[in-house]
Structure 1
Amino acid sequence: MKAMTMIQTEMTPEDIAKLPYRRNVGVMLVNADGHAFVGQRADRQPHEPPAWQMPQGGIDKGEDPRAAALRELTEETGVTPDLVTVEAETEGWIAYDLPHDIVPRIWKGRYKGQEQKWFLLRFHGTDDQIRLDADEHQEFTEWRWLPADEVVAQIVPFKRPVYEQVIAAFRGRL
């Protein structure tokens, strides 16, 4: 614990600004009603408010972003590629910075935030095919479908601009 404190005090805003972004994919999974899947993160602390988000995760070395999105979706929700159609993806990468106090604690302080490629996937399955325990490292404790206009308010504040961009990019297909 002492080493963690030392790392935190040694990382100045200037140090953090020099760090790269972590490449990542995000999935906006929508149902037939155009509502988006959001899950409550399993890693929140009891004193923290609920943290909701759409499925997302890192890209393995040499992995195609679309393949990474489908893999992350399956790992986090149990939804397999045969239950979805990939309808769209963001043109570019959308970056966000982590709050400075979080940087030293996540990814061993190697990244200042993430740059994400987002995919819109249409879910053709049934709700009982969503399994949050599909992977040994469960990402979410519960989930729900929300209208797109209600999603942003549920997201941690530092990620809200990303979600606004994603919803704007996909709005015509919801």
Structure 2
Amino acid sequence: MVTQQHTDKVLQGSRDPKNYRPNAGLAVFSPKGYVFAGHRAGASGPYQWQLPQGGIDAGENSLVGAYRELEEETGISSDKVELLEEIEPWLYYDFPEDILKRFKGKYLGQRQKWFAFRFTGKESDIKLDLHEPEFDAWKWVPLSEVPELIIPFKRDIYTHISEKFSHWTNLTD
């Protein structure tokens, strides 16, 4: 359940947007209401599953970036999904100290625009190796289980989107 504490952690608050990399996040729902989760390529250990997400390029709007990332990470083209919803406002997460030290970049974290899509294609339309693979495996999972699969520093956002997109799950067997 989304608490006010989770919501407060993912909203902008006093964060300066220019210190957070713009990013699109995608919840891709199967016709039965499960969501696509990808296993990070080459990663080991717990919490290596996530929903597709990636940077929005300069001059690109968030929806265009979402469609591009969808194809780059899953091989799913935009004609194989139906746009269901966009979450307002941007959601934020901060990188942990060890990641900040390793990347030494200009960003303190990411700000994400989240979209829900319904997958209308066939499973054979999912091609993880269409571009440089970001995922080495994938599965359909209940949206409510996704926060437990994700790396802990992103968990508040995943808890938030699990609540916000729950009406798209309509799980059936």
Range of TM-score over shorter length? 0.7 to 0.9
Which residue pairs with 1:53 in the alignment?
50
The 1:41–1:122 alpha-carbon spacing in structure 2 relative to 1, beyond 3 Å, is same
- Equivalent residue, structure 2, for 1:72: 69
Aligned-residue sequence identity (percent) comes to 44
Normalised to the residue count of structure 1, the TM-score between the two structures is: 0.83
Could you tell me which amino acid in structure 1 is paired with residue 106 of structure 2?
Answer: R
Runs of 4+ in 1 over 4 A off after TM superposition: none
Which residue identity is paired with 2:168? R
Q: In the alignment, is residue 119 of structure 1 matched against residue 118 of structure 2?
A: no
Per the alignment, in what secondary structure is the counterpart of residue 92 of structure 1? coil
State the distance in 2 between where 1:149 and 1:90 align: 17
How far apart, in 1, do the equivalents of 2:71 and 2:28 lie?
Answer: 11
| Partner residue, 1:39 | 38
Q: Which runs of 5+ in 2 are unaligned?
A: 1-14
Whether contact under 8 Å (1:77, 1:131) holds in the other structure is: yes
Contact 1:27 1:118 in 2 (8 A): yes
- Which has more radius of gyration? 1
Distance across 2 between alignment mates of 1:133 and 1:86 = 24
The Cα of 1:129 is off from its aligned counterpart by 1.1
119-128 vs 17-26, which moves further = 17-26
Whether the 8 Å CA contact 1:41–1:50 is kept in 2: the answer is no
Task: Tell me the C-alpha RMSD between the 2 structures.
Answer: 1.6
Structure 1 counterpart of 2:102, one-letter code: R
Give the TM-score taking structure 2 as reference length.
Answer: 0.84
Cα distance per residue 1:9-43 (max 9 Å; x no partner): xxxxxxxx988111101000000111000000015
